[in-house]
Structure 1
Amino acid sequence: MEISIRPFEQRDSAAVLQLNAESVAVLSPMDERRLQQLHAMARLHLVAEGAAGVVGFLIAFADGAAYDSSNYQWFTSRLKRFIYIDRVVISPAQRGGGLGRAFYQQVEGYARTHELAWMACEVDVEPPNLASLAFHQRLGFAEVGRQSAGAGKQVAMQLRSVG
């Protein structure tokens, strides 16, 4: 099945919320109101669409956004000229097929065009999200710190130069 990546449109909201709900174990919950808030602040909000509809999405913020995430704020206090990948969700049927890499290529292209120096994200390490850790390592991300995310959860702050 051919999949295309395009900017988020309001008609994608229900599918994005459903995908987010299916992955809530490894990311923050999101309702319609929160989705609209994030969309308004996001520098990039992309969806992947195939014949069956939306099968993935990505939301990313550049430095200077009014985003209230403690993980985003961690990077804001340490970096300039970065883009923070807040969440990437891919439907289980599409995982392992290169869609995550394609999303990150879009982010990198944006970062290059806008002369941003860093791509930043966090990955759960307690409990561990092993697939995400391996994915980010393959893409050249390195751990630059850790942060408690409450309720026994800890995240590894990941960074990669745009280069």
Structure 2
Amino acid sequence: MVNAARLLALNNAHAEQTSLLDPTRLQQMIAGAFQVATIGEIECFLIAFDQDADYDSPNFLWLRARHDRFVYVDRIVTAPEARGRGHARRLYRDLFAQAVAADHDRVLCEVNRVPPNPGSDVFHERLGFTGIGEATSASGKTVRFLERRLTPGDRGG
């Protein structure tokens, strides 16, 4: 069972990198997600959707218009005091395994360019993500879309 209150608090503390959520929106996201994963007392969390999700995020819709089948990481956040412990990497590895098990061949996400998020850029590059496009929202936020192709080796063990 996900501790939604803690997840919401951690998300909203990092709203510049993700986006602000209210409890209702968070519950909708959890209900429609391909995967919701957490570590500890919400030291780190990940929310991902597949292409069939009933989700209206402009970034998700941009990707769905260009790809038939995928898993999309909508957000991954690690609490500052828990950084450097490999939590986010562990959540991604588990997501890769779940995506391969569900016959997906790619995981997609985006990272802010404006405002910049250099730590996330480096993290995703180390996991094998590469750029596949950019978009700017009406609010002026620019994101870079990334793709990580999956292999049978991502199944885990």
Q: TM-score, normalised by structure 1?
A: 0.89
In 1, Cα distance between equivalents of 2:32 and 2:137: 22
Q: Return the structure number with greater strand share.
A: 1
In 2, Cα distance between equivalents of 1:80 and 1:101: 26
Q: How far apart are residue 21 of structure 1 and its match? A: 1.4
2:106 is the alignment partner of 1:115:
no
In 1, Cα distance between equivalents of 2:28 and 2:92: 22
Aligned pairs for 1:83-102 within 5 A: 83-102=71-90
Aligned pairs for 1:129-144 within 5 A: 129-144=117-132
In 2, Cα distance between equivalents of 1:156 and 1:149: 12
Counterpart contact for 1:81–1:115, Cα < 8 Å? no
Q: Deviations over 1:61-92 (max 9, x none)?
A: 00111110111111111112210000001100
**SS of equivalent to 1:39:** helix
Q: What code does the residue aligned with 1:46 have?
A: A
Q: How far apart are residue 152 of structure 1 and its match? A: 2.3
2:40 is the alignment partner of 1:38:
no
Q: TM-score, normalised by structure 2?
A: 0.93
Q: Deviations over 1:74-112 (max 9, x none)?
A: 111111221000000110011122111001001100011
Q: What count of residue pairs does the alignment treat as equivalent?
A: 151
Q: What code does the residue aligned with 1:107 have?
A: L
Determine the structure 1 residue equivalent to 2:139: 151
- What is the identity percentage for the equivalent residue pairs of Structure 1 and Structure 2? 36
Q: 1:77 aligns with which of 59, 65, 68?
A: 65
Q: How far apart are residue 114 of structure 1 and its match? A: 0.5
In 1, Cα distance between equivalents of 2:88 and 2:138: 27
In 2, Cα distance between equivalents of 1:21 and 1:116: 30
**Structure 2: unaligned runs, 5 residues or longer:** 152-157
In 1, Cα distance between equivalents of 2:140 and 2:69: 31
Q: How far apart are residue 127 of structure 1 and its match? A: 1.4
Runs of 4+ with deviation above 6 angstroms: none
In 2, Cα distance between equivalents of 1:57 and 1:150: 27
